Amino acid sequence: MAVENVEVEETGGVTEAVTTMAVRYYAVAPGVRLNVRSGPSTNYPVIRVLPEGAHVAIFCQRPGETVTGPYGTSKIWDNISQGEYVSDAYVNTGSDGYVASRCL
């Protein structure tokens, strides 16, 4: 994700700098319907299933269960929405490491 500064003019001619986040989307492995779980492990319940051809925004990442998928073996889990995680081994981030900040 990239951080951008945008200037906004308010009433009365006062200008204030506002920080915004540009969200980057990553492709899920081709031909995969990916389980979205409530935590960073296959032991957590499936909340929903992403369709083939899905793209996901990664808001933060955290370590969890090691999973092997189309993009290798990884213990990184991607937070794609509040309380929703997918294994990074199924997301084409172009990296074997973290591409977003660690989840708190």
The per-residue pLDDT for range 55-84, each reduced to its tens digit, is: 999 999 999 999 999 999 999 999 999 999
Mean pLDDT of the chain: 88
Closest CA to 36 of 21, 51, 18, 20: 51
Pick from 7-11, 31-35, 64-68, 73-77: least confident? 7-11
CA distance linking residue 98 with residue 4, whole number of Å: 21
What pTM was computed for the model?
A: 0.80
Percentage of the chain lying above the pLDDT 70 cut: 80
> Which amino acid is present at 102?
R
> Which amino acid is present at 54?
A
